[in-house]
Structures are given as structure tokens and as C-alpha cells.
Amino acid sequence: MTDPVAAREAAVLWPTYARPPVVFTRGEGVRLWDTAGREYLDFLGGIAVVAAGHAHPRVVVAVAGQLATLGHTSNLYFTGPQIDLAERLVDHFGPPAKVFFSNSGAEANEAAIKVARRHAKQHKGEQAVGIVAAEGGFHGRTLATLAATGKPHLHPTFAPLPAGFTHVPYGDADALAAAVGPDTAAVLLEPVQGEAGIRVPPPGYLRAAREIASRHGALLILDEVQSGMGRTGRFFAHQHEQVRPDVVTLAKALGNGYPIGATIATAEVADVMRPGDHASTFGGGPVACAAALATLEVVEPLLEGHVEKVSARLKDGLEELASRTGPGAEVRGLGLWFALDLPTGPGAKEVAAAALDRGLVVNPVTDTAVRLAPPLVVEEDEVDEAIARLGGALAEAGR
């Protein structure tokens, strides 16, 4: 990034982001181009967002066509794309279920917390407001979702946060069972923790969480904002364990870059809400829903073998790199969502910066772990190219 661009940004934008020195101007498929015309392989996908790839023709046509027809009415009126999309998502979740649309993952989780407390107060009493979440979990940056987020270092700046949130070690079913009780409204978990470094829980953990929540009349909310929409090879990550949550949240890849979030709940849970309990001016607008419907058309066929095939290629390549990088190196993840954790030597920031210099976009999701979440349309030759570039970056960073 040139100094004038950085200076212009510093003069007019809040200083909430630490950006690498690149300005992207164009994308197509799995590739990006910067202001100098340099090409990059995008193996971050806008943080697991661009599942259908950049500028996918089907999504472009759907968005442009809907915007040219009807761009916005607010939720005071019916629109066809919203109902069409809700029906598609209910089919994936399993009926009977109902959807609330918003604009982001944080908003989707906020709605999930609200419906859980509404449900608990109706069925368990006014005192049943507790939300049990996991250490290391990330659920958003609104005050309530920040309180739910199991990263204590993020809390003090914005304290006091809403009360009623408890955190237990992720993957520990005994700790979860000990924390859930008669005043618990819901258990809120990620099926795979994204911002903690793509951490996959032990087998049976989600099934145990389902049983624990049910035993106490609490809801099981699964945050699939990052893991959903086929990222792990199934439409929902919880489908790997054949668990049915009461509520699931989606965002990120749902609109392939067009902002949209969804909170899907069983009909019994959703029906505790009443007009005026929750709302969103832009949530589920016709253009966002058109983008999501087009994205589904691209993503759904990829889950019939493509993601599994390309995932195996990516995992093999990452494990080969890990085997050559020193003690403790680890590959974690599912589908097209991996972390290469490098606990010794240069940190993840140095590796990600070296990768960017080689035309590969990844990110340091933790101090030691590099995250890879390419578009689901990625092909095996692009995986091989990315692994070669990442290998070069590791060598440069001194691994």
C-alpha cells in the first residue's frame, strides 16, 4: 500500500483494522488482483465468505437483476426472494423450522440469544436467562455476542457487558454438564471453533451437548456463521455428528460477500416470538436474498464430492509442509477450512506476510496458526499452487 493511501485511510476511517500493504481491486474465482495488476491466490475467501468464488456469474446476474427490479421495501411488506430463501434453508435444517434474517453473523447470534431467553422465560420462568458458551469461542462484537465470546481479553474495554454468560472449556462435556442447570436458557457453541484456530472438538461432543441441553430444558444453539454453507464438506458442520440443534446461525458465505445473516430455529422455538419482539430494516432484503439463492445454486452441487476431493488434496499438502517445519506443527480442520499451527519459530503473522509477498492470501488466525479457507470452487491445481507458495513463505520465515 502506498503511503498516500494509508494516510487517506487514517484521516477518515476508525483505526480498528491493521491491514497488510495491499489494495485489491478485482476478483475472479479463486484469484484477486491489486492496484498494480498483480495476481494473488485467495485462500482466505474474505474469512470463509466467498464460497462461490469472486464475481461468480450466477451471483452477479442474480444481484444485478434483482437490484434492477426491486432493491428494498423493508420488512413491513412481503417479498418473494425472502420466502424462497427461507424455504431453502429450512429444507437444509429440516422442517418444521422458521428463519429470521439479519445482516451479519453477530446479528444472527444476537437473535439466537434473544429467542432463547424468550423461550426459557416462557417455559422455565423469568430467572432462566443463563447462556453457557465455550472458552475460545467467537460469536460477534455486539455487546451481547461479545459477552458470549469466550475471549476474556476482549471484554474489559467495553465493560460492563450484559450479564448471564458462563464459559467452560471447549470440547469438555463434563465441564459443560456441570455448568448447565435449571436457570440455563441455552448452550451456545461453534461446531468447530473458527477464531480459536479451527479447533475441532472430540467425537461425540456435540451429541453430549445436545443431551445435556435437553436434560435441563435448555436450547442448543450452534453458531455456524463460519462453519456453515458447506465449509466443512456438509451444508452444516453439525451434520457430521447427526445432531439437530434447536437454533442454528448462518452468515458469512450465505450471500457470497453480500451481507446477510440467518437465524434458523425449530418452529416450536421460533413461535415464542411475537410481532415487535425483534426486527431488522434491511434483514432479508430482496437483493441479499437473491445473492444467497444464487450462492446456494453454486455451493450445493459442490457438496456432492468436490469439496471432499479438494479437501483431501489440501490436507495432504499442509501435512507435508507441517512434517518439514519442526516440532509440534499441526494441521487442524475439515472440508476447505484448515489451520496450519506452527508453535515454534516465526509467528503466524510473519508467515502470512511472506505468503502475501508470494501472491497467496491467508491470515494469522492466532499467534501461531495460519488459517486457510479458500472458495469452495477451488480446484486441485490451485491447491497445489497455493501449497507451493506457502512452502516458499515458510522457508522465507525461517521454518
Q: Residue ranges of the domains in the chain?
A: 3-55+304-396, 57-302
Q: Can you give the pTM of this predicted structure? A: 0.97
> Side-chain half-sphere of 53: how many Cα atoms within 13 Å?
18
Residue 252 among the catalytic residues: yes
Long-range contacts made by residues 151-154, C-beta under 8 angstroms, separation at least 24? 151/195
Q: Which of 138, 165, 235, 338 is catalytic?
A: 138
The secondary structure of residue 193, as a DSSP letter, is B
List, for residues 194-223, the tens digit of each pLDDT value: 999 999 999 999 999 999 999 999 999 999
C-alpha grid cell for residue 58?
450466477
The stretch 365-393 carries a mean pLDDT of 98
User: Hey, do 3-55+304-396 and 57-302 end up sharing a CATH topology, with the first three levels equal?
Assistant: no
Q: Which CATH class is domain 57-302?
A: alpha beta
Identify which of 53, 46, 40 has the alpha carbon closest to the alpha carbon of residue 310. Answer: 53
How confident is the model over 243-269, as pLDDT tens digits?
999 999 999 999 999 999 999 999 999
Q: Determine what percent of the chain is predicted with pLDDT higher than 70.
A: 99
Pairing between strand 360-361 and 39-42?
Answer: parallel
Closest CA to 164 of 212, 114, 122: 114
Distance CA 149, CA 135 (A): 8
Per annotation, catalytic residue among 223, 235, 246, 338:
223
How many angstroms separate the CA atoms of 319 and 337, rounded? 14
- Assess whether pLDDT exceeds 80 at residue 2: no
- Report the mean per-residue pLDDT for the chain: 97
Nearest Cα neighbor of 113 from 149, 87, 88, 81 is: 149
Cell 415464542, located at residue: 272
Can you give the length of the chain in residues? 399
What is the tens place of the pLDDT at every residue in 86-113? 999 999 999 999 999 999 999 999 999 9
Distance CA 198, CA 365 (A): 9
96 vs 104: CA distance, rounded Å: 24
Cα distance between residue 270 and residue 272, in whole Å: 6
3-55+304-396 placed in CATH 3.90.1150.10: yes
Residue 218's identity, in one-letter code, is A
Which of 184-198, 207-221, 322-336 is least confident? Answer: 322-336
Catalytic pick among 42, 43, 252, 315: 252
Range name among 116-130, 181-195, 214-228, 335-349 with the lowest pLDDT average: 335-349
Q: How far apart are CA 339 and CA 319, in angstroms?
A: 11
User: Does 138 participate in catalysis according to the annotation?
Assistant: yes
Unique residue bearing C-alpha cell 495491499? 22
DSSP code of 277?
Answer: S
C-alpha cell read off for 165: 454468560
262 DSSP β-pair partners: 101, 250
